[in-house]
Structure 1
Amino acid sequence: MSNDRPVLVWMIFNHQSLALLAPHPVPSFVSWSPPPVRFCKLNFDGSAPNNLSMAGVVLRDDLDNHIPSRTYNLGSCPAFLAIVIALRNGLLLARAHNISHIFIEGDNLMVINILQGHFKCPWKLHLLMNDIKKILESFSTFHSHHIYREGN
């Protein structure tokens, strides 16, 4: 019998074995990058571990100079609400520092999509998002962008 014939091997895979055969995603480097020239970047986030909600905002200019940053203890509210409050508070902070061109960057894709008009705002956040849209009217220019959590 010849040894050069192909050998058929049957294997039983579980779902973890199949994952090993799937193409692996190519890792990409995620980091903060400066906004366009003459813009200030607002990074915002919120969380609600153990019903203790927090929000944070950071403003930096196109030369990576730190303008202000703030954290807020919000008591008890859902994480999604804490994120939207962070956005509103960050915009108010930017307006208080006479920033006219703002680049908004956050890691919650739903909030960014609502801000850009791609998603309809949940009714519980409707008044807060309307407030945010009115604040945005006070800026000469604004852009919003989603970034992965590691870069926010």
Structure 2
Amino acid sequence: MLGFTGYQQSVPDSPSSRDFFNRWRLPISFTSGRETPFSWIAPPWAWTTINCDGSIRSSATGYGTISHNHLSQAIFAIVGGTSDISILRMELLAIKVGLHKAISLGLDQIQCQSDSLMVINIINGHMKSPWPVMDILHIIWDLRDSFRRIVFQFHIRESNFCADFLAGFAYTNQELHLCISSVPNLLPDLLHKDAVGHRYFRL
């Protein structure tokens, strides 16, 4: 029989750790992990950042896209809702509509950011794409060639709240290009937090 007499150890606290060590009745002390701060960062001069997100909730699926210039000023915001139930498709739709809008406005240096690492890896060719979303992926690749410079970057969720908020805003099969001067309630506060470098924390 395996014995743990006198065993003392500290481990990071988590529900799975507590469950494991409680089952074995081990004398473990749990420690809280160090919080890491994250902030939304404005793009370099003459560049535009496009933040994108997809959402699947109990009542609807949607996508949201918002862009900022190097002064942290919002340029455009788009929300959309569909009957599709694929989160991967929602994430890619957000990127596609954001790139379309940027082209229509003559923006040619783009940082396109998503909090889906899978989506970024697929677009950058580091992962194979599931066939159901290949149509949108090829559109994104075609749009990519329209820009003078473009990068696709992973952006942690804690600093992607504006796009996350927009992704949950549309509840029907529609796409809305919002007026920046009259955006939905709560979004102005999130935009302000981004502009002033508000720090969000993650364990």
**TM superposition score category, shorter chain reference:** 0.7 to 0.9
Among 66, 75, 87, the alignment partner of 1:67 is 75
Q: Within 5 A, what are the aligned runs for 1:30-49?
A: 30-49=38-57
CA distance in 2, matches of 1:128, 1:113: 15
| Matching residue's letter, 1:146 | F
Q: Percent identity?
A: 24
Show CA shifts across 1:88-142 (max 9, x none). 0111111111100000111000000111111111111111101000001000000
**Distance 1:89-1:15 versus aligned 2 partners, 3 A rule:** same
| Matching residue's letter, 1:48 | I
Q: Which moved more, 1:118-127 or 1:75-84?
A: 75-84
Match of 1:55 in 2: 63
Match of 1:15 in 2: 20
**Distance 1:61-1:9 versus aligned 2 partners, 3 A rule:** same
CA distance in 2, matches of 1:115, 1:78: 17
Equivalenced residues, count: 143
Unaligned runs of 5+ in 1: 1-7
Among 84, 89, 97, the alignment partner of 2:97 is 89
**Distance 1:50-1:76 versus aligned 2 partners, 3 A rule:** farther
Contact 1:61 1:67 in 2 (8 A): yes
**Distance 1:77-1:63 versus aligned 2 partners, 3 A rule:** same
> How far did 1:29 drift?
0.9
RMSD: 2.2
CA distance in 2, matches of 1:134, 1:10: 59
CA distance in 1, matches of 2:157, 2:62: 16
Deviation beyond 6 Å, 4+ runs, structure 1: none
> How far did 1:34 drift?
0.6
Q: TM-score, structure 1 length as denominator?
A: 0.84
> How far did 1:9 drift?
4.1
Task: Give the secondary structure class of the aligned counterpart of 1:29.
Answer: strand
Match of 1:134 in 2: 142
Unaligned runs of 5+ in 2: 9-17, 161-203
